Amino acid sequence: MKRLTAVFQATGGAGHTRGGRIARAAVLLAALLVTAPLVAPGSAAAAPAPIIGGETQTDADGLAAVLIDGQYNCSGSIVDNYWVLTARHCIYSGSTRIADSRISVRVKSIYYYSGGGVVNVADSRVRTNHDIAMLKLNRSANAQPVRLPTATTKVGATTYAFGWGRTCSTCSPSAILRRATQNVTSINDTDYHGGRAIRTTGLNGDSCFGDSGGPLFKLVDGLRYQVGVLSMVSSGCTGTAYWATVPESRDWISDVMATV
């Protein structure tokens, strides 16, 4: 079985194997990421980076860059003008929940570090036993929300991953949004927290560290529906990715938006 890790946040959040802790080498990699400052391109140090392979995007419709203390941490999607959907592990540092006051999102920009607008997070919710989290914004994102399906996708379906993660497991980062085409190989796997997951393999690109929380879309009649939230990737970011199943959490998402 290939070793799998929860997708590292760009600031060096903890990674995990499906069965327990990641190998020592991956822990050392996380420590290195923590010590590397994240700054905009053109500065002395490198900034976070996109999906391996794939293609660059000219718009960020429905997408959000999740920031911790103003620095890029994870990807996310706008499911309502006041709500962003991301991975649960994106708002934890180890076992400690990150304070909402430290979290913000950049919306309406293909760059995580400039353009569009930055909106602070007023509240957050996580789903028990699923790698799913919801971030409530303190003002409207004024953006076009993504669509949430009522049913999951099918094995063999072509889907599309979006994010600002790394271009390789050890590469210096870049800051432009990318897309990778994915093939669905299972719809009954598990995410990092034990919830139902979609498993995919890359067709023209793979997800990597920093893509956590990003959406997996399926096109239906030319419209994008979000079927997954990135939870884990194979070690080395070569091939397999696991996505918390959005339709499995659709009622929970609706309840959170209605009651918080």
Domain boundaries, the chain: 59-145+251-259
Lowest mean pLDDT among 105-119, 133-147, 191-205, 229-243: 229-243
Lowest mean pLDDT among 99-113, 128-142, 203-217: 203-217
Output the average pLDDT for the chain.
80
Give me the pLDDT at residue 57, please: 67
pLDDT digits (tens, 9 = 90+) for 116-161: 999 999 999 999 999 999 999 999 999 999 999 999 999 999 999 9
Please check the confidence at residue 221 and state whether its pLDDT lies above 50.
yes
CB-based contact 171:213 (threshold 8 Å): no
Q: What's the CA gap between 233 and 148, in Å, rounded?
A: 23
Average pLDDT on 233-238 reads 77
- Residue 4 confidence class, pLDDT cut points 50, 70, 90: low
Cα dist. 200→85, 124, 185, 227 in Å?
20, 28, 5, 12
Please check the confidence at residue 105 and state whether its pLDDT lies above 50.
yes
The CATH number of domain 59-145+251-259, selected from 3.40.190.10, 2.40.10.10, 3.30.565.10, 2.40.340.10: 2.40.10.10
Please check the confidence at residue 22 and state whether its pLDDT lies above 70.
no
Please check the confidence at residue 171 and state whether its pLDDT lies above 90.
no
pLDDT digits (tens, 9 = 90+) for 33-92: 322 222 222 322 223 334 555 666 678 999 999 999 999 999 999 999 999 999 999 999
Residues 6+ apart with CB under 8 A from 98: 68, 91, 92
More confident residue, 21 or 86: 86
Cα dist. 226→42, 160, 204, 211 in Å?
33, 9, 19, 15
Give me the pLDDT at residue 53, please: 59
Give me the pLDDT at residue 8, please: 45
Give me the pLDDT at residue 54, please: 66
Q: What's the CA gap between 86 and 247, in Å, rounded?
A: 14
Q: Whose CA is closest to 79, among 146, 161, 149?
A: 146
Percent of the chain with pLDDT over 70: 75
Q: What's the CA gap between 111 and 64, in Å, rounded?
A: 10
Give me the pLDDT at residue 163, please: 85
Percent of the chain with pLDDT over 90: 61
Please check the confidence at residue 192 and state whether its pLDDT lies above 70.
yes
